[in-house]
Amino acid sequence: MNKEYDIIVVGAGPAGSMAARFAAERGVSVLMLEKDRDVGYPVRCGEAISKAGVEEFIQSDDKWIASRISKFSFNAPDGTEVIIEFGEAGYVLERRIFDYELARTAAEAGADILTRAYVNGLLFDSDGKVSGVKYEYNGEQKEIKSKIVIAADGVESRVGRWAGLKTHIDFRDMESAVQITAANIPVDQNTLYFYFGKDVAPNGYFWIFPKGHNKANIGLGVSGIIGKKKSAQSFLDDFMNKHYPNAPVLTKIAGGVPCSVTLDKISGPGIMLVGDAARQVNPLSGGGIASGMIGGSIAGRIAAEAIKMNKLEHILTYDKAWHDRLGKRHETFNRIKEGIYNFSDEKFNSIAHSVLKIPIEKRTLGKVFTTALMNNPSLLLDIAKVFVI
Amino acid sequence: MSDSEIKYRMAKTGKLMIEILPDRCDYCGCCVGVCPEDAIELKEAEIFIIDPRCTNCAKCVWSCPIEVIKFNKEGVQAH
Ligand SMILES: Cc1cc2nc3c(=O)[nH]c(=O)nc-3n(C[C@H](O)[C@H](O)[C@H](O)COP(=O)(O)OP(=O)(O)OC[C@H]3O[C@@H](n4cnc5c(N)ncnc54)[C@H](O)[C@@H]3O)c2cc1C
Ligand code: SF4
Ligand code: SF4
């Protein structure tokens, strides 16, 4: 380890690893700190990702692909199932290995990595610019300086707040989730299953994502508004008792998905935020692996450029670069989310019924959307509402 | 937050009402993410509320997916 670094990355999830790698590849010195003893563990994730989302950053590899996805199954509250087929569209990952591999690519690019290092404060220089971190390691309080700190500290992010950015997430936008990995779940191993309706997952969806050999990730998230009355845990218990009362549970985890638009400001003097810490999750799907890697890669590149140009203000261009690449799209997704997740059970049912009339080989997501509209004109108003504001 | 603000909040709420049940937490971070006051410290497998910062707003209670945080009207002992 050096005494000082150009860039310190806090958190070794997908966003942190990509920030570290994209910076280190440009020849600057990088240290990534992770509080947990293992990179990639515990896994708090459904692990579904599109193939394109992976392959922008790392070549697909069987050792971290648990299953290959070619179909979506949407299930309406009355039990109507709508299946949409794709080519090979995505994967369910083995994230424990995937995150490890991502961190390895950062290390190969030259980044130093230290686990069991809990960051608990920031250092500032005399004009208030962030200039390093304070951390606890082996029970000792330490400090290390850097020109730039990249906060990749996930949903529980605090680093950004210490730097003076407004980062806490509105409790209504936090999807508090619980998920089990269960065995003996006899679903199609190439299909992602989504369940809608107020009994299973109000304001969101319930998922079953296959992990091969009839193992599956099963879970849901609920907004704090729902959580006031009924926790994610109770919804999951109800679903399992009803559908798979005897399934052996291999793991159970809690986790949070910040389902909102990106924070107003994701950079400041000496500080950049990436991944869940910046709220870069796709607010419609709740997917944050691919978008976190994208955010991390942009931040890592811009941070390295800033160091090499010796012009630290350059990091402030990150906000716009992110907005142009994905942030703007997430604003649209967020409006759609607010429309769809407020649909009544009857509405979900009637959409499912009209979509079923499209022959399966012609069912693309776009066609499903337009046909649902034509067969169900009252929907137009809802969709219009979604797009207008 | 300044010292006087902390004192104001303590005076306003009187006592601590938020409690994290020890041993049942999964260290997932939902509560930390929603806490407006930066009042929760979460290490790898250790969690506690930074009492003087907490305003008893209960947002963490509503956001805990596994019902590990409790709101107690009568007040709770500081851990
Ligand atoms: C139940 C659930 C299901 C999900 N399903 C999917 C899915 O199917 N597909 C998908 O794309 N996304 C999914 N997501 C979202 C996805 O998991 C996250 O968006 C993604 O992990 C974000 O990556 P990240 O690098 O920003 O943060 P993380 O992966 O959370 O990494 C943050 C890291 O920072 C470390 N850290 C935090 N604080 C500190 C500190 N003070 N000091 C040092 N280290 C620190 C943490 O230990 C952690 O390792 C799901 C999330 C949940 C909770
Ligand atoms: S009650 Fe409010 S202020 Fe106190 S820890 Fe919970 S979220 Fe934070
Ligand atoms: S939300 Fe609940 S389970 Fe998660 S860290 Fe907070 S207290 Fe623990």
Both tokens of residue A190? 């190439």
Say whether both A344 and A218 belong to one domain. Answer: no
A242-258: per-residue pLDDT in tens? Answer: 999 999 999 999 999 99
Q: How many angstroms separate the CA atoms of A246 and A185, rounded?
A: 10
Among A225, A231, A257, which would you mutate to test the B interface (most chain B Cβ atoms within 10 Å of its Cβ)? A231
In a domain, B7, yes or no: yes
In a domain, B56, yes or no: yes
Alpha-carbon gap: A204 to the closest alpha carbon of chain B (Å): 14
What separation in Å is there between the alpha carbon of A190 and the centre of ligand 1? 24
* Contact residues of ligand 3, CB 6 A cut-off: A 254; B 20, 25-31, 42, 47, 64, 66, 68-69
In a domain, A271, yes or no: yes
Q: Which residue has the higher pLDDT, B45 or A94?
A: A94
Ligand having the closest approach to the CA of A35: 1
Say whether both A164 and A195 belong to one domain. Answer: no
**With a cut of 50, which residues of chain A have pLDDT below it?**
386-389
Last residue of a domain, one of A285, A300, A326: A326
Give the model's confidence band at B8: pLDDT under 50 very low, under 70 low, under 90 confident, else very high: very low
A150-192: per-residue pLDDT in tens? Answer: 999 999 999 999 999 989 999 999 999 999 999 999 999 999 9
Say whether both A31 and A103 belong to one domain. Answer: yes
Residue B56's SS3 state is coil
Sequence-distant (6+) residues with CB within 8 A of A235 are A200, A201, A206, A220, A222
In a domain, A123, yes or no: yes
Say whether both A240 and A142 belong to one domain. Answer: no
Helices and strands (DSSP H and E) totals, chain A? 12, 16
- The CA-to-CA distance between both ends of chain B, in Å, stands at 22
* Cα-trace Rg, chain B: 12
Closest-CA residue of B relative to A38 is B44
In a domain, B53, yes or no: yes
Say whether both A105 and A237 belong to one domain. Answer: no
Amino acid letter, residue B72? N
Ligand having the closest approach to the CA of B71: 2
- pLDDT of residue B9 exceeding 50, the answer is no
Q: How many angstroms separate the CA atoms of B63 and B34, rounded?
A: 7
Task: Give the CATH number of the domain where residue B65 resides.
Answer: 3.30.70.20
Q: How many angstroms separate the CA atoms of B53 and B37, rounded?
A: 6
Chain mean position to CA A331: 15
Q: Nearest Cα to B71, choosing from B59, B54, B55, B58?
A: B58
Task: Give the CATH number of the domain where residue A179 resides.
Answer: 3.30.9.10
In a domain, A50, yes or no: no
pLDDT value at position A389?
A: 38
In a domain, B23, yes or no: yes
**DSSP codes joined into one string, A131-191:** EEEEEEETTEEEEEEEEEEEE---TT--HHHHTT---PPPTTTEEEEEEEEES---S-TTE
In a domain, A235, yes or no: yes
In a domain, B77, yes or no: no
Choose among B28, B33, B36: nearest Cβ to A254.
B28
Burial of B28 (0-12, 13-18, 19+ CB in 10 A): buried
Residue with tokens 């919804």: A235
Query: How many structural domains does chain A have?
Result: 3
pLDDT value at position B72?
A: 80
Instruction: Name the pTM for this structure.
Output: 0.94
**Paired sense of beta strands A271-273 and A140-151, if any:** parallel
What is the span of the domain harbouring residue B25? 3-71
Say whether both A115 and A207 belong to one domain. Answer: no
Last residue of a domain, one of A258, A273, A303: A258
Task: Give the CATH number of the domain where residue A150 resides.
Answer: 3.50.50.60
Say whether both A102 and A36 belong to one domain. Answer: yes
In a domain, B79, yes or no: no
pLDDT value at position B11?
A: 47
Say whether both A238 and A277 belong to one domain. Answer: no
Report the run of H or E that residue A367 belongs to, with start and end. helix A365-375
Say whether both A87 and A195 belong to one domain. Answer: yes
pLDDT value at position A357?
A: 85
**DSSP codes joined into one string, A209-253:** EE-STT-EEEEEEEEHHHHTTS-HHHHHHHHHHHH-TTPPEEEEE
In a domain, B61, yes or no: yes
Alpha-carbon gap: A44 to the closest alpha carbon of chain B (Å): 8
Sequence-distant (6+) residues with CB within 8 A of A140 are none
Choose among A174, A228, A231: nearest Cβ to B33.
A174
In a domain, A49, yes or no: no
Contact list, A154 vs chain B (CB under 8 Å): 29
In a domain, A57, yes or no: no
What is the span of the domain harbouring residue A129? 4-43+96-169+262-326
A62 near A101, Cβ under 8 Å? no
Q: Which residue has the higher pLDDT, B8 or A11?
A: A11
Residue A192's SS3 state is strand
A218-245: per-residue pLDDT in tens? Answer: 999 999 999 999 999 999 999 999 999 9
Choose among A120, A254, A258: nearest Cβ to B65.
A254
pLDDT value at position A363?
A: 78
Last residue of a domain, one of A213, A229, A258: A258
Say whether both A152 and A184 belong to one domain. Answer: no
Give the model's confidence band at B3: pLDDT under 50 very low, under 70 low, under 90 confident, else very high: low
In a domain, B66, yes or no: yes
Say whether both A234 and A375 belong to one domain. Answer: no
Distances in whole angstroms, Cα of residue A152 to Cα of each of A160, A265, A295, A382: 9, 15, 10, 36
| Cis amide leading into B52 (omega within 30) | no
Q: How many angstroms separate the CA atoms of A4 and A188, rounded?
A: 51
Say whether both A213 and A183 belong to one domain. Answer: yes
- ipTM, 2 decimals? 0.91
Q: In the beta sheet, which residues pair with residue A191?
A: A71
Query: How many structural domains does chain B have?
Result: 1
